[in-house]
A and B are shown apart, each in its own frame.
Chain A
Amino acid sequence: TQLLEQSPQFLSIQEGENLTVYCNSSSVFSSLQWYRQEPGEGPVLLVTVVTGGEVKKLKRLTFQFGDARKDSSLHITAAQTGDTGLYLCAGAIRSARQLTFGSGTQLTVLP
């Protein structure tokens, strides 16, 4: 069974601050995805990383895939209130039909 642990579980910060969310596993994944989910909505894909050590930037968001493809991080610079939401990491194994999701990090950005 592949498990993904996310930390922190809850994060409340002021607008303009920086933050990092972590996603760790003992399993190796062929790719890892990050989603954001808002209340009453399904998760929306932010990024997919597939190569160990890969770093992807999406405006103020920076995603990193660990060298061993077991962990990942999401860094947000100068957080805005619109960044509020549940951030989920999800790992895929090439032979599998499913994504394995972490339990999520609930981010609240205060004005």
Chain B
Amino acid sequence: ETGVTQSPTHLIKTRGQQVTLRCSSQSGHNTVSWYQQALGQGPQFIFQYYREEENGRGNFPPRFSGLQFPNYSSELNVNALELDDSALYLCASTLTSGANVLTFGAGSRLTVL
């Protein structure tokens, strides 16, 4: 059974650019959530996708968007990057929609200069 895999592991962008982060869910999990973890903080919920539709969103602006594909893999897109977007972005999958038991990937470390 494979876990949650994320790519890239690290990347550096400049202000105003756009970034796409990718996540492959754990086998059999149909729900994926994205969290942002700033340095020294706990993860903050961005949004959740279930059956290819967003079904929950945290307090993040519209420039944070996502996709879920038929194979349950997912993307997080961030437009017009700001310095404060520098963080570890975590993807987590669950068996069903809801908070439940999350299996996290190792994250993508984004640095915005």
Q: Is chain B a partner of chain A in the same complex? A: yes
Which residues of A are at the interface with B, using a C-beta cutoff of 8 A? 4, 6, 31, 33, 40-45, 48, 88, 90, 92-93, 96-104
A92→B56 CA distance, assembly (Å): 14
Which chain B residues border A96 with CB–CB below 8 Å? 56, 99
Which chain A residues border B103 with CB–CB below 8 Å? 45
List the count of A-B residue pairs having beta carbons below 8 Å apart. Answer: 61
Which residues of B are at the interface with A, using a C-beta cutoff of 8 A? 4, 33, 35, 40-45, 48, 55-56, 58, 90, 92, 97-107
| Residue contact A97 to B98, C-beta cutoff 8 Å | yes
Closest A residue, CB atoms, query B90: A42
| Residue contact B99 to A99, C-beta cutoff 8 Å | yes
| Residue contact B56 to A102, C-beta cutoff 8 Å | no
- How many whole Å from B100's CB to the nearest CB in chain A? 8
Closest A residue, CB atoms, query B57: A97
A31→B101 CA distance, assembly (Å): 11
